[in-house]
Amino acid sequence: MTLSPLALIDLDAVPAWALVLASYLLGAIPFGLILSQAFKGVDPRTVGSGNIGATNTIRAAGRTVGLTSFALDVFKGAAVVVLLRDGAQEYLGPYCFGAAVVGHCYPVYLGFIGGKGVATMVGGILAIDPMMLVYGVGAWLLVLLTTRFVGLASLAMVAAFAVGSGIRHGFDQSATLVQFGLLLMIVWRHRGNLRRILEGSEPRAFEPKPADFHEAPNE
């Protein structure tokens, strides 16, 4: 029997669909928005890119609030895997993790307009297999330092997670298949970045954004 440390609930007795749904609802909690409004009285959706993720939250509410929201977004991805560990429904971990990432990207609480899912993805990877961070962080640094496109580096990291999972655990395993599915979704979430890279208008890291730069919050 697996008991949640957050509440005395026998998770082994909870239906699989309910665990996946609960994971989605947890992932959908917009910590960037909640913390920005609570501590700074600002709505990150009205600032910069309009995104509720950590990068724009830092821009809207400052580094402390932004990094705290990043940590909580990471927690969302890790928690669902950790809570199911060593229980009868541990096999649901990858699916619940995937549901949490989908929730972050398409939160029901905000009309399905959310973040880009990378922080929550990192949390799930950290819980499933921390060694895969070596693949992901290595890819992120390589692409960031060679191109200085943060969005492209993030996509490289997520792709490295999926490939690394295949190498370490098998390409036919549920954790790997879920990660490739999330890769496709996160590529779609970064479609605006990719379009601007091709157009030559995507801002690079360590450079100020043009005054007329605009990014649709659901891209």
Q: What is the pTM of this model?
A: 0.88
**172-181 CB contacts, 8 Å cutoff, 24+ apart:** 174/91, 174/94, 174/95, 175/93, 175/94, 175/128, 175/129, 177/94, 178/94, 178/95, 178/97, 178/98, 179/94, 179/125, 181/98
Tokens coding 75 = 């927690």
pLDDT for residue 88: 80
pLDDT for residue 204: 82
**Contact between 81 and 93 (Cβ < 8 Å):** yes
pLDDT for residue 162: 95
pLDDT, mean of each 10-residue run, the chain (219 residues): 55 88 95 92 84 84 92 94 86 94 95 91 93 93 93 94 94 94 94 89 70 54
Q: For residue 18, what are the CA distances in angstroms to 13, 114, 129?
A: 10, 22, 25
**Each residue of 132-186: pLDDT tens digit?**
999 999 999 999 999 999 889 999 999 999 999 999 999 999 999 999 999 999 9
Beta-carbon contacts of residue 96 (< 8 Å; ≥ 6 apart): 19, 20, 22, 23, 80, 81, 84
Average pLDDT, the chain: 87
Beta-carbon contacts of residue 106 (< 8 Å; ≥ 6 apart): 28, 112, 113, 114
| Numbers of helices and strands, H then E, in the chain | 10, 0
Q: How far apart are CA 97 and CA 20, in angstroms?
A: 8
